[in-house]
Structure 1
Amino acid sequence: MHVLGVWVAALLVLVEALFFAGLGAALSLVTRLRGWPVLAACCWVGVEYAYSRVPFGGFGWTRIAYAAVDTPLAGFLPLVGVAGVSFLVALAGQLVAWLVLTLRHRGLTTAVGIRRLAVVAAVLVLLVGAGAGLRQWQTDPQPEAAGELQVGVVQGNVPGRGIEALGRARTVTTNHLAETVALMTRARLGLVPVPDFVLWPENSTDIDPYRDPVTRQTVQNAAEVAGVPIMVGAVTQGPGAGERQITALWWDPDRGETARYHKQNLVPFGEWIPLRKQLLPLLPILSKVGAQSVPGTEPGVLPVQAGGRDVVVGDVMCFELAYDRTVYGTLRAGAEVLVVQSNNATYGGTGQIEQQFAITRARAMEARREIAVATTNSVSGVIDRSGRVVQRTNEFTAASLVTALPLRSSLTPAVLVAPWLDRGLAVAGLLACLLTLRQPRHRHSAPSEVR
């Protein structure tokens, strides 16, 4: 966030730190109870549940499951989802803490110390072993799909870096036209497969093609050059005066737009301004946000024609990757292929780029779906259903590729049960805290499982 201003980063850190202060308080309460490592892990999930929703829709990009994509515990993602893996990671940490406290107070040579060392070791071996086994199973030959689509992924690149990359919108659109021409040239020379549709990133045009004839013609030219539909990331005006929407447009070379999706989860202070009337006079820098974005209300599915058949394309846009409800809703609404459109240009050169790609990998494992990712200037690429990175682009470059996305309709247990697991674990943590508040107070002592 420092690219927008150090004060912005400091303010966000302060807000998020309040949740972890609450977590510290919760942990100090539940450690009075028997079985507190499990309850403490529930508290971790509860805090993630809270900061993924408030304030202003939440900032859920820091959930600990996203940091576990290259660990054995990631094998549980298709079964218990992001919330469940966060619980398992937290549980492993709390068990180690329980063991350390036990050894500090009892010593390793006591019967209690030996017994608890054995319990912790057994649980950790079970978690790691089961997770590793599941990951291995996920890399085995994949089941047959109901066909596939060849998808062209275009990363057109943008002029400038950091906050200056927000400008020069017409150049960004022209860059994506140019890279589409380069991609189709390679395809017609037989160097890559001919795509069934081309995926442009979020904000590949920041100018509404329905309000600007030059932009409209640029998009139309790209579709005609490709000879196949292009999924364009656009900023469209409306629905009201002074409002806009972040939109995916399915643009057919012969019929123009045939389907669209409006981004549901918008970036606070990036795409919309909370308390706009009150804050804008106090913080003039917020004027750079522009018109107030309005969220969409429908799942990110586009029923379209591609490759000579009817197909449902599922779309997740950038910030939406952190929101379980949005990702799961897209899959449950019938998405047969899954794509991600993103604009990371503002955060080039920061950790945000790899962070988002790791989240995308977690979503691929969770849904057991291949994902094609198109960004304005990185990281674009392809992730298989086991979370393995098949192809990826370099930062600050123009690039394009073609990948096969199998058509799939099955849903994993995670997509079906993880929302309930998320709520259930959060409620369990809250009830444990309330239970301790009802107990009579005693003088300070070590956690109950150590005493």
Structure 2
Amino acid sequence: MIFKWNKIGALRCGGAVLSGLMLAASFPGWSQSTLIFTALVPLLLAVQSLSARQTAALSWLCGVVFYGVSLSWFWQMTNTVDAWAFKFGTGGALLFIVSYCAFYFIPFGVAAAWCGRVWSDGSFFKNIRIMMFMTVLWTGLEYLRGTLFTGFGWNALGVSQYANPAMIQVAEWGGVAVVSAVIVWMNMGVFLTIRQYVKHRQFRKYRPHFELILGLTPLALSVAFGMQVLFGASEVGAPVQVGLIQPNIPQTSRRDAQLMAETRERLETLSSAALRMNQVELLVWPETALPDYFRLSFSSRALVNRLTRDGVPLLVGTMDFSEGAGGRELHNSALLYDEGEGTVSTYHKQHLVPFGEYVPFPNLLRALSPLDVDFTAGESSTLFALPGK
């Protein structure tokens, strides 16, 4: 056994589970986003003074709880397939993704335990070193998870702040990684403050907790910057009025011909309502909003032509294709379409979702997946330029 099952072992396991639950509760579903700023603290406390093997086990457990809860909606995908082999494969895909993503918690937990042993005297400057090291490590692991094997970047910590516009404005300096870094930095400040108190309590040795103040500072500055951006005068240029369309289409609607027609009807109804405001300069549909290939579908092309005939361009989420060296390649794409110019520019998704857009190890796992073909990842980003802007 990795742990002796006693009171201390139970508390450590409880700390890892609690961290996983607090992390999950910060995301949509529970949306308790303020929990994220202390969610890692129970795990950090639990792994102190443990061996690398024990720390790895607790860290992985925390990750499994986090991803298992926050990605639990994935189970609904089993309703989109009929064969039991495919249902089993879909459930197995979720377990694989949860287990894989949880492994990225292991280096973080092991590093936290190592820092606790090497820099254990609690001096202020060594604690700053710990905060910097752990923050950089976490953001680096998130980046690696989002790029390795086409990437699976879902549920980066910064995403939890989606409903906090003042907090997320700092993303303009480096994307969601900057928001995640602020969150981890705050967690480390709280953890080190608690560790200082617990460690020196018996010696009656106290000092001001500068780590907590230091942890709060980037958070406060981020919110202050966000408030300035949101309510200050913009000097970037003329604003663009965008109509965001969210049809909320069930996955099952993509496999039924009648429901596909209802999907187009809902897109047209919502888009027409937005256009009647007479202020919209760009319509935006979500990823794969159309249930078929735009460039091959008469119905979808007719729909887009009707909506853009008054000169408002449309950013279309659709499936697309290109001719590659090995033949025709399929893509999950976004097309900027203007009635006067046709397709202005195209972006092919670069980071594909395993089991959702391609099957890893196809010779082994294809039989358990309803996917009979794989999408191909794009190779470059696209900067969309609005016609006339």
Q: TM-score range by the shorter chain?
A: 0.5 to 0.7
Matched to 1:58, the amino acid is G
User: Once the two structures are superposed, what CA deviation does each residue of 1:4-32 show, in whole Å capped at 9, x if it has no partner?
Assistant: 24443332221122221232222222222
Q: Which has the higher contact order (CA 8 A, sep 6+)?
A: 1
Q: Shift of the alpha carbon at 1:73?
A: 6.3
Aligned-partner Cα distance in 1 for 2:323–2:202: 67
1:142 is aligned to 2:228 = no
1:77 CA displacement: 4.1
Which digits, 9 at most, give the CA deviation of each residue in 1:366-403, with x for residues without a partner? xxxxxxxxxxxxxxxxxxxxxxxxxxxxxxxxxxxxxx
**Given the alignment of the two structures, is residue 133 of structure 1 paired with residue 227 of structure 2, yes or no?**
no
Task: Using the TM superposition, give the Cα deviation of residue 166 of structure 1 relative to its aligned residue in structure 2, in angstroms.
Answer: 3.2
Distance 1:129 1:33, change over 3 A: same
Structure number with higher strand proportion: 1
- Distance, in Å, in 1 between the alignment partners of 2:179 and 2:372 is 38
Kept after mapping to 2: 8 A contact 1:264/1:297: yes
Shift of residue 255 of structure 1?
Answer: 4.0
Corresponding position of 2:76: 3
Deviations 1:190-224 (A, max 9, x none): xx224333323322323223323333333323333
Name the structure where helix makes up a greater proportion of residues: 2
Matched, 1:110 2:185: no
Corresponding residue for residue 180 of structure 1? 271
TM-score (norm 2): 0.64
1:165 to 230, 253, 269: 253
Q: Cα offset for 1:270? A: 1.0
Following superposition, the deviation at residue 80 of structure 1 comes to 6.0
In 1, Cα distance between equivalents of 2:295 and 2:170: 45
Task: Output the CA distance in 2 between the equivalents of 1:81 and 1:181.
Answer: 32
Q: TM-score, normalised by structure 1?
A: 0.56
Counterpart selection for 1:260 from 329, 346, 369: 346
Partner of 2:3: none
Instruction: Sort the Cα spacing of 1:87 and 1:248 in 2 relative to 1 into closer, same or farther, 3 A.
Output: closer
Judging changes above 3 Å, is the alpha-carbon distance between structure 1 residues 205 and 105 closer, same or farther for their aligned structure 2 residues? closer
Equivalent residue letter for 2:75 = H
The CA RMSD measured in Å over matched residues stands at 3.1
The answer for unaligned runs of 5 or more in structure 1 is 312-451
Partner SS, residue 210 of structure 1: helix
| Amino acid aligned to 1:199 | V
**2:142 is the counterpart of 1:52:** no
Question: Could you tell me how far 1:155 is from its partner in structure 2?
Answer: 3.4
Contact 2:152 2:351 in 1 (8 A): no
SS, match of residue 100 in structure 1 = helix
What's the counterpart of residue 447 of structure 1?
none
Identity, % of aligned pairs?
A: 20
Give the whole-Å Cα distance in 1 for the aligned partners of 2:169 and 2:271. 37
What is the identity, as a one-letter code, of the residue corresponding to 2:291?
Answer: D
Q: Cα distance 1:8–1:250, how it changes in 2: closer, same or farther (>3 A)?
A: same
Q: Which residue of 2 aligns with 1:363?
A: none
Aligned residue identity for 2:319: V
User: Which amino acid in 1 is paired with 2:254?
Assistant: L
1:223 aligns with 308
- CA deviations on 1:300-337 (whole Å, 9 max, x unpaired) are 223341xxx2x3xxxxxxxxxxxxxxxxxxxxxxxxxx
Q: Which runs of 5+ in 2 are unaligned?
A: 1-73, 79-90, 120-125
For residues 257 and 156 of structure 1, the distance between their equivalents in structure 2, rounded to whole angstroms, comes to 22
